Amino acid sequence: MTKKNLHVSLDPEIYETLHETANMNSTSMNAIVKESIISYLHQTRSKQLLNRSNFTFIDLFAGIGGMRLGFESAGGKCVFSSEWDKYSQETYLANFGERPAGDITQIDEREIPDHDVLVAGFPCQPFSLAGVSKKNSLGRAHGFKDKTQGTLFFDIARILDAKRPKVFLLENVKNLRSHDKGKTYKVIIDTLKELNYHVFDEVIDGSGYVPQHRERIFIVGFDANIYKTAPNFHFPESNVKYRVRDILESTVDDKFTLSDKLWLYLQAHAAKHKKLGNGFGFGIADLNGATRTLSARYHKDGSEILIPQEKKNPRRLTPRECARLQGYPENYKIVVSNTQAYKQFGNSVVVPLISAISREMIKAMAVDERKVENVV
């Protein structure tokens, strides 16, 4: 095929950004431009397909709506949300115009609207298997209700059982697999399969979507009553490199700079643990790379992610920078105190990663339900 030439004039700023990105990825500017165009066309085509799907979803353990943003970007409509924390409810209300229902354990699953997709970033809890072997010996059925009763995963299971969404996405910390010597994860996967879902799972690092190392486990399921064979679903992959410096605010109040007392304490604390061989300490961010994982404890001292400053002590990220580090849009409203904002973003998800997973889920749904003939 004969190649076609296209001449484009670029602003100096865009040209320099392309040049810098090419150097950072050890490739040519032409390759970067080509990849960007292909990616844009792919996403545009995907959005057209996804918007036509007009799927509905529910947002459980919703936090401040990071999962919701991801699925809305894929053309979904949220028909129900649940979050018990009052401060997170305030942030959710400010950004989505609705206050989530409260404690999911007190909500009757029959009152939840029908939906295509269930989304939940649920807390990790151990399961008690006491009594199961006894019930087996007596020939009595126990099933997921007995195995998971008393945990928050039980509430997901009972909703899946009652409402039968076509697909679900669950998100949790990477260590869920090893939690309680693997017993917790085994109960979860066995329960989802017992509920007759095809299950896919993978640990993904958010650094392919934002400048932050954030490994989380994602579990996707497709209703086997609808999809007789396991769908052709694949988790997304991204090798794009992002830089911390690109999410930093140009002007930052001095209140975010560590005091001499705190800075001296963190250095002494790190030196002490290094001497003991523990390797624990603060983290000065590489501005041309990715940060450590942002946690809910960031409000305490900001030690895991500190931003270097010339002739000054390092500083912690601002709440807006934390929002950017998680991939939230610039128009996302922060309506709570800095302390609560740090907790909320530290507990949240990488929004662009959720968007990428949701697109793959909906494309798999569309193909297997013969909604489209070809998916780009």
**pLDDT value at residue 372:** 37
**How confident is the model over 3-56, as pLDDT tens digits?**
677 777 777 777 777 777 777 766 787 767 766 675 565 456 445 544 555 799
**Is residue 322 flagged as an active site residue?**
no
* 184 and 313 fall within a common domain: no
Residue 123 falls inside a structural domain: yes
For residue 375, tell me if it sits in a domain. Answer: no
- Structure confidence at residue 181 as a pLDDT band (50, 70, 90): confident
What pLDDT sits at residue 97? 93
Q: Which residue has the tokens 């206050």?
A: 99
**Confidence band (pLDDT; 50, 70, 90) for 148?**
low
- Separation of alpha carbons 120 and 183, rounded Å: 20
Q: Which of 18, 124, 226, 287 is catalytic?
A: 124
Same domain for 151 and 92, yes or no, is yes
What's the pLDDT at 136?
44
249 and 137 belong to one structural domain: no
Q: Is residue 32 one of the residues assigned to a domain?
A: yes
Structure token pair of residue 226:
């609808």
* Percentage, residues of the chain above pLDDT 90: 62
Rounded-to-10 torsion of CA 228, 232, 235, 238: -170
Provide the pLDDT for residue 179. 82
Q: How many structural domains comprise the chain?
A: 3
| The most confident of 2-16, 264-278, 279-293, 321-335, by mean pLDDT | 321-335
Q: Nearest 5 degrees, angle CA 359-CA 244-CA 334?
A: 70
Q: Is 259 found in the same domain as 202? A: no
Pair 289, 362 in one domain: no
SS3 content of the chain, % helix, strand, coil (to 5): 45, 15, 40
pLDDT at 18: 77
Question: Within this chain, do residues 233 and 297 fall inside the same structural domain, yes or no?
Answer: no
Q: Is pLDDT of 203 > 60?
A: yes
Amino acid type, 281: G
* Helix and strand element counts for the chain (H, E): 13, 8
Alpha carbon distance 272, 263 (integer Å):
14
Could you tell me the residue range of the domain that residue 325 belongs to? 244-346
Are 244 and 211 in contact by the 8 Å Cβ rule? The answer is yes
8 A C-beta contact, residue 179 and residue 126: yes
Helical H runs in 247-337? 260-275, 298-301, 319-325
For range 285-289, the mean pLDDT: 96
Q: What is the pLDDT of residue 334?
A: 97
Q: Can you give the pLDDT at residue 144? A: 53
Identify whether 4 is part of a domain. no
Q: Which CATH number is 330's domain given? A: 3.90.120.10
Compute the distance between CA of residue 153 and CA of residue 132 in angstroms, rounded to an integer: 18
Cα–Cα dist 327/330, whole Å = 9
Under the banding of pLDDT at 50, 70 and 90, the label for residue 134 is: very low
Mean pLDDT rounded to a whole number for the chain: 85
Same domain (yes/no): 221, 128: yes
In a domain, 2, yes or no: no
Decide if pLDDT at 100 tops 80.
yes
Both 286 and 187 in one domain: the answer is no
Distance of CA 283 to the CA centre of its chain: 22
Residue 260 has pLDDT above 90, yes or no: yes
What are 41's two structure tokens? 């066309």
Q: Tell me, yes or no, whether 160 lies in a domain.
A: yes
Domain co-membership, 39 together with 59: no
| Rounded alpha-carbon distances, angstroms, from residue 291 to 136, 168, 225, 355 | 49, 30, 43, 21
Confidence of residue 275 (pLDDT cuts 50, 70, 90): confident
Query: What CATH number is associated with residue 146?
Result: 3.40.50.150
Answer whether 0.75 is exceeded by the pTM. yes
Q: Is residue 289, in this structure, part of any structural domain at all?
A: yes
Provide mean pLDDT across the span 135-152: 54
On the question of pLDDT at 191 being above 80, the answer is yes
Q: Give the amino acid at 311.
A: K
94 and 233 fall within a common domain = yes
Whether residue 1 lies inside any domain: the answer is no
Question: Are 137 and 28 part of one and the same domain?
Answer: no
User: Residue 141 has what pLDDT?
Assistant: 39
> Given this model, what pLDDT does residue 21 score?
73
Q: Are 201 and 220 in contact (CB under 8 A)?
A: yes
206 closest CA partner among 99, 67, 354, 96: 354
Same domain, 214 and 257: no
So what's the pLDDT on residue 176? 87
- The confidence score (pLDDT) of residue 319 equals 97
Query: In sequence order, what E strands does 159-280 have?
Result: 167-173, 197-205, 215-223
Euclidean distance between CA atoms 116 and 33, whole angstroms: 37
Split at pLDDT 50, 70, 90, the class of 137 is very low
Percent pLDDT > 70 in the chain is 81
Does 175 have pLDDT greater than 90?
Answer: no
Question: What is the model's pLDDT at position 376?
Answer: 35
Is the pLDDT score of 185 beyond 50? yes
179/45: higher pLDDT:
179
How confident is the model over 59-93, as pLDDT tens digits? 999 999 999 999 999 999 999 999 999 999 999 99
